Amino acid sequence: MKHLIVVAHPSASSFTMALTRLYATELERLGHTQSTSDLYRMGFNPILNAGELAAADSGRVADSSARAFPADIAQAQRHVREADVFTAIYPLWWLSMPAIMKGYIDRVFARGFAYEPADGIVRGLLTGKKCVLITISGAPLTALAKDGRWSAVQALQDTHIFRSAGFEVLDHLHLDQVQPNLPVAVAERHFARILDCARRHFRGRTVWAEPAIG
């Protein structure tokens, strides 16, 4: 299977980037192919500007699938289209995604590519694709879950973005209590969970089997 990993963290030596490299290496070890779009190192431009927005709006009556996208976005969309599995990896910043990842969603998951509005609601166009979300926080997950903040994350990110775009969300792996000077035991527990996530979903599944008919 082909995996596209999209990761957002400014520091190449961060724990988030170490987790990403481990996940990518494990997918390859399991016989999958992957490519990683490292948004900061690529210098991805997250700003949806007026011209691009106008192009989106002008296509509203016409067939929006025929819309021309800027070259960087057309290339990013080709990577999504070619992937069987889309994996997003990012720390939670103010319980949201870093702005560069949000800008990736704004620009790449555009109308006509990731969704079409239908009667006021969104019809996802990326159906048939799987998605894995891997997020990282400083706070313990139990604290976030206790007062509803974790449910809000899941509603706004898993459902409102990824499921709305048509993905089947296989997993949302959340690694919590990631602080500077992380104790070895905590880091090793997170590394083990990353490996387990890759193996649980993808070991022995290098190709999709067609469902049997009849």
Ligand X SMILES: Cc1cc2nc3c(=O)[nH]c(=O)nc-3n(C[C@H](O)[C@H](O)[C@H](O)COP(=O)(O)O)c2cc1C
What is the binding site for ligand X (CB under 6 A)?
9, 14-16, 91-95, 136-139, 178
Nearest-approach distance from CB 159 to ligand X, in angstroms: 19
Give whichever of 80 and 158 is closer to ligand X, judged by the CB atom.
158
Three-state DSSP class for residue 111: strand
- What DSSP string runs through 35-95? EEEEHHHHT------HHHHHHHHHTSSS-GGGPPPPHHHHHHHHHHHH-SEEEEEEE-BTT
Nearest-approach distance from CB 46 to ligand X, in angstroms: 15
Phi, psi values for residue 31, rounded to 5°: 95, 10
Nearest-approach distance from CB 176 to ligand X, in angstroms: 7
Give the CA radius of gyration of the chain. Answer: 18
Give whichever of 91 and 103 is closer to ligand X, judged by the CB atom.
91
Give whichever of 13 and 66 is closer to ligand X, judged by the CB atom.
13
Give whichever of 90 and 104 is closer to ligand X, judged by the CB atom.
90
CA-to-CA dists, residue 73 to 1, 46, 191, angstroms: 23, 10, 32
Beta-strand pair 85-91/115-118? unpaired
Nearest-approach distance from CB 7 to ligand X, in angstroms: 10
Contact 101, 88 (CB under 8 A): yes
Three-state DSSP class for residue 10: coil
Give whichever of 74 and 156 is closer to ligand X, judged by the CB atom.
156
Nearest-approach distance from CB 122 to ligand X, in angstroms: 26
